[in-house]
Structure 1
């Protein structure tokens, strides 16, 4: 499947990658509110910091989940915009291969550059044991979409390189 007619294609982290931390953070915020309400009814001076600690941790986990949600790749005609820990423009003319990369029991996608260095994408991804067949099918679809986009836009500078993971 090639998205040649589209101006660009966006691929983002799967819902499981950011949804689980978001739910855990929301649960921590709920526990913080409950603990705070209980402490108002029966004050425990030695436990006054617990609701605040849960509030800070829960907020940090929710913010991280929202940040993970933005990870991915934008496929544009001239380059790929990789969104991860930082944003990076990778011109298609510098990409020599699109490969699968095993990591932590799951799979990520890497763009191998003409200097042999890989650029690891944070999405699409699949984690072992999570998501089942639907997640695996989405990973395969997105992996092939990136590969087809690269084939359609790589330009004349492409040459075969050997990549060792």
Structure 2
């Protein structure tokens, strides 16, 4: 009997969000603060309403953080990258001039440079001390390859304006190797 062959279906979209470990590591400092506050309640004989109000506030803060971080991310499609921040931002692949890794507040983040000089920092993927992602390099490579495969045959490199540093414009990425800075 012959086994059926399964063909690999091309992925139509990829979505990156914070990992479970990143959620946990981000909440740990809040839990530490809350536990010290709880210890103060126990040792100071605080009133029940004071404890309830404070506990409710901390619980709500953690809940909002977890919900928001589940929403944030980036979705890659054949024609665009959809950046999910507080507001959605859609970046068409032909408008992208480079994708790089930069340091921001002690973390490595992915930045998309557009032809009009705009740079968009992605909330995910990211990696750092309290937001460690063991697959960060793989995710960055996937985003870069996705852009190179979907930017279209008419794409031409332009000059990137480095507005944040005040330095002269630099040439856009023209090779097939990712423009990665660490």
TM interval, short-chain normalised: 0.7 to 0.9
* Contact 2:17/2:69 (<8 A) preserved: no
Q: What secondary structure sits across from 1:54 in the alignment?
A: helix
- The higher relative CO (CA closer than 8 Å, separation ≥ 6) is in 1
How many residue pairs are counted as aligned between the two chains? 149
Q: In the alignment, which of 140, 148, 151 is matched to residue 148 of structure 2?
A: 151
Cα distance between partner residues in 1 of 2:124 and 2:75: 10
Cα distance between partner residues in 2 of 1:11 and 1:58: 26
Give TM-score, length-normalised by structure 1.
0.75
* Contact 1:14/1:123 (<8 A) preserved: no
**1:52 Cα deviation after fit:** 1.3
**1:10 Cα deviation after fit:** 1.0
Cα distance between partner residues in 2 of 1:128 and 1:83: 23
**1:22 Cα deviation after fit:** 4.5
Q: Deviations over 1:2-60 (max 9, x none)?
A: x992111111113233223456667859x87xx7xx8xxxx855x63222122122212
Cα distance between partner residues in 1 of 2:95 and 2:64: 34
* Contact 2:22/2:131 (<8 A) preserved: no
Cα distance between partner residues in 2 of 1:55 and 1:87: 30
Q: Which residue of 2 aligns with 1:18?
A: 23
Higher helix share: 1
**1:66 Cα deviation after fit:** 2.2
Q: 1:68 to 1:44 in 2, by over 3 A?
A: closer
Q: Which residue of 2 aligns with 1:141?
A: 138
Cα RMSD for the two superposed structures: 2.9
Q: Deviations over 1:87-134 (max 9, x none)?
A: 111111111111111111111001100011101100000114763xxx
Unaligned runs of 5+ in 1: none
